[in-house]
Amino acid sequence: MDGPENSTPSANDEALLARAKSSPGGVAEVYDAYADRLYGFLLKRCGHKETAEDIVSRTFMKFIEAVPKIEWQGVSLGAWLYRTASNALIDHWRSASVRLDIDVDPETWDLPSPSQNTAEAIDLGMEKEKMLTVMKTLSPRDQQVLDLRYFAQLETQEVAKTMEISENHAAVLVYRALGRLRSKYQQSYV
């Protein structure tokens, strides 16, 4: 895998899957490549550190159980992992009757901006809070598609695979969700 900063499918993903099938070290490589991103994605969705940690663990347990049966399909392993994590989170919400729009712990979502001065960092922090507030007003599906595309940094093809829809449908959902987000943001803050 090219690492968290580049989640597009590649020959490296195929090789990573092959290593995961052949040795525990390969599974550890998949964990290293995806655990932090999955945790951030889940934390943003549920707002609870322990729940996010638990679902990441469950996701990788399911991966370990399924890895012998997973076949390379030209899409990064992230698509499989995010779909599994999303399904586990849905199961959690169903069993716990937890609402989708729980507040996110602001301590876990610092903007990576070490070179900015204090005033710029404060401005960006306020914009981030505004954006998260507006995102909570979107439908659960809009939140999910935007989370997958921008927080989890999945490509449209991987969003489609994760949500089990066509790539065109995923692109349309992202486009429309961004439009609704932009409109609600402008209504609230511009």
Pick the CATH number of 11-106+117-189 from 1.10.357.10, 1.10.10.10, 3.40.50.620, 2.60.120.260: 1.10.10.10
Amino acid at 157: Q
Average pLDDT over residues 157-164: 85
Taking CA atoms, 4 is separated from 38, 66, 77, 122, 177, in Å, by 10, 22, 12, 27, 24
Q: Is residue 116 over pLDDT 60? A: no
pTM assigned to the model: 0.59
Q: Which of 57-66, 76-85, 125-134 has the highest mean predicted lDDT (pLDDT)?
A: 57-66
If you average pLDDT over every residue of the chain, what do you get?
78
Euclidean distance between CA atoms 174 and 187, whole angstroms: 20
**In this structure, what token pair is assigned to residue 54?**
């638990």
pLDDT at 7 over 50: no
The domain locations on the chain are 11-106+117-189
- Please provide residue 124's backbone torsions phi and psi, each rounded to the nearest 5 degrees: -65, -40
The pLDDT confidence band at residue 12, using thresholds 50, 70 and 90, is: confident
The structure tokens listed for 6 are: 């580049």
Q: How far is CA 108 from the centre of its chain?
A: 15
CB 146 within 8 A of CB 174: yes
Does the pLDDT at position 8 exceed 50?
no
